[in-house]
């Protein structure tokens, strides 16, 4: 009997058939499902961070101009944003498990396009597909992780969803950077490994228990919506500058630093750019994990200060050609990224009703990913000469 049947009401024939199929299908234990879905969420972000050290490799192999690479980066952010706006709430109607399976299958398709991409056009297409998959999976995976977390450790689910984005991006950059040093064909090796990982993740999700019931309105949910509840509009407006700065810092270390390393510092190995991204996102992950008891307002102020300091130090490092300043900028900017984003979300969400929680997140991502994608494309025009 479903939750909706009260007072001894008999289940409908649809519910009876669904229950029979559910009992017949061999689902994984919830703890195993929690571990598997958590790993899948991290893997999608690892794949998003993997192109960072590969950009100089593509530039060298194909003789690309910097704007080609930043275009490939920027379209990912915009595709991700569109997917969040259109598909973000679809899992509430079709079930989280169904959307996770579809999103991971699309992510697998993106990895295959990366694997066999012969030109920059195919690389851009792969990034668009990857952005759609990441955006479609983000809300469903996050909600499933929280629901599947062990009852005695529910905070672990929330902590995982908060740390996974930054940690996954940093790990992805480092993973691909190491392979650029060790593998004879790093581009092929990176995407081959991720093809296998996404295939395993897709199969594993098929046998993961569902964490939400279906409800009507799936088609209506596809109409893009981005609004802020009235009671937090002033707070949202005050928060946006630090959110924009945080996402632009993310774009800096994911899309531009590898190009700057080659154009300004003449770094001959993509691993250097990968390490800079890993340091930045590692610092952000650490700050997010260690500041759970800091008040959101204070956290935003600290984050804004760290972001500003990181930007000044970065400009000084590029202007003077001093590489150690770039590492200092990675630490400061990454810490500011983690603090400001945590402070923004933790300050806004408690101020709205439970059924409105998705609205401030959607609005934050709308502003953030536009700030992440468009400036990166423009900045590519000034990043340096073509290879």
Torsion angle (degrees, nearest 10) of CA 138, 105, 215, 367: 30
Per-residue confidence (pLDDT) for residue 8, from 0 to 100: 41
- CA atoms of 294 and 228, how far apart (whole Å): 24
DSSP-H helix ranges across 63-210 = 66-87, 91-94, 96-116, 120-148, 154-182, 186-206
Between the two ends of the chain, the Cα-to-Cα distance in Å is 64
CATH H-level superfamily of 27-211+228-382? MFS general substrate transporter like domains (1.20.1250.20)
Per-residue confidence (pLDDT) for residue 104, from 0 to 100: 93
Per-residue confidence (pLDDT) for residue 110, from 0 to 100: 97
The contacts found for 265-271 with CB under 8 angstroms, 24 or more apart, are: 265/321, 265/323, 265/326, 269/180, 269/181, 270/53, 270/54, 270/55, 270/56, 270/57, 270/177, 270/180, 271/53, 271/177, 271/178, 271/180, 271/181
Q: Is 384 exposed, middle or buried (0-12, 13-18, 19+ CB in 10 A)?
A: middle
Per-residue confidence (pLDDT) for residue 130, from 0 to 100: 96
Per-residue confidence (pLDDT) for residue 359, from 0 to 100: 61
Per-residue confidence (pLDDT) for residue 12, from 0 to 100: 46
Per-residue confidence (pLDDT) for residue 200, from 0 to 100: 93
Average pLDDT per consecutive 10 residues, the chain (387 residues; last block may be shorter): 40 44 63 82 92 88 84 87 82 78 94 96 95 85 74 64 81 93 94 96 86 73 72 82 88 82 79 90 91 88 95 93 92 93 76 57 77 74 53
- CA atoms of 108 and 66, how far apart (whole Å): 27
Query: Closest Cα partner for 171 from 289, 42, 329?
Result: 42
* C-beta of residue 281 within 8 angstroms of C-beta of residue 334: yes
């Amino acid at each position: 009997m479903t939750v909706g049947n009260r007072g001894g009401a008999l289940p409908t024939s649809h519910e009876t058939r669904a229950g029979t199929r559910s009992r017949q299908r061999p689902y994984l234990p919830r703890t195993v499902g929690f571990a598997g879905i958590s790993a899948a969420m991290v893997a999608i972000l690892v794949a998003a961070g993997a192109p960072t050290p590969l950009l100089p490799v593509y530039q060298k192999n194909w003789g690309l101009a910097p704007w080609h690479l930043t275009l490939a980066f920027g379209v990912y952010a915009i595709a991700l944003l569109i997917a969040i706006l259109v598909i973000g709430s679809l899992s509430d109607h079709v079930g989280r498990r169904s959307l996770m399976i579809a999103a991971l299958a699309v992510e697998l398709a993106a990895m295959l396009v990366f694997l066999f991409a012969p030109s920059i056009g195919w690389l851009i297409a792969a990034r668009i597909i990857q952005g759609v998959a990441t955006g479609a999976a983000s809300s469903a995976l996050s909600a499933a992780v929280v629901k599947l977390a062990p009852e005695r450790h529910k905070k672990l689910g929330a902590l995982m969803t908060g740390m996974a984005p930054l940690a996954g991006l940093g790990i992805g950059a480092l993973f691909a950077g190491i392979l650029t040093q060790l593998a004879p064909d790093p581009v092929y090796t990176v995407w081959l490994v991720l093809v296998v990982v996404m295939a395993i993740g897709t199969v594993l999700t098929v046998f993961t228990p569902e964490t939400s019931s279906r409800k009507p309105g799936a088609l209506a949910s596809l109409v893009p919506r981005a609004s802020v509840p009235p009671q937090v509009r002033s707070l949202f407006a005050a928060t946006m500058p630090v959110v924009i700065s945080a996402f632009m810092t993310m774009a800096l270390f994911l899309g531009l630093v590898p190009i700057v390393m080659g154009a300004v510092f003449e770094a001959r190995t993509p691993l250097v750019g990968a390490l800079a991204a890993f340091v930045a996102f590692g610092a952000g992950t650490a700050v997010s994990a260690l500041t759970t008891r800091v008040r959101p307002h204070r956290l935003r102020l600290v984050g804004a200060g760290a972001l500003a300091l990181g930007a000044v130090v970065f400009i000084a490092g590029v202007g003077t050609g001093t590489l150690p300043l770039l590492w200092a900028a990675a630490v400061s900017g990454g810490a500011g990224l983690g603090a400001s984003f945590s402070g923004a979300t933790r300050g806004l969400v408690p101020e709205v009703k439970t059924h409105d929680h998705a609205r401030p997140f959607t609005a934050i991502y709308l502003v953030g990913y536009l700030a992440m994608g468009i400036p990166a494309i423009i900045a590519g025009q000034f990043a340096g000469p073509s290879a």
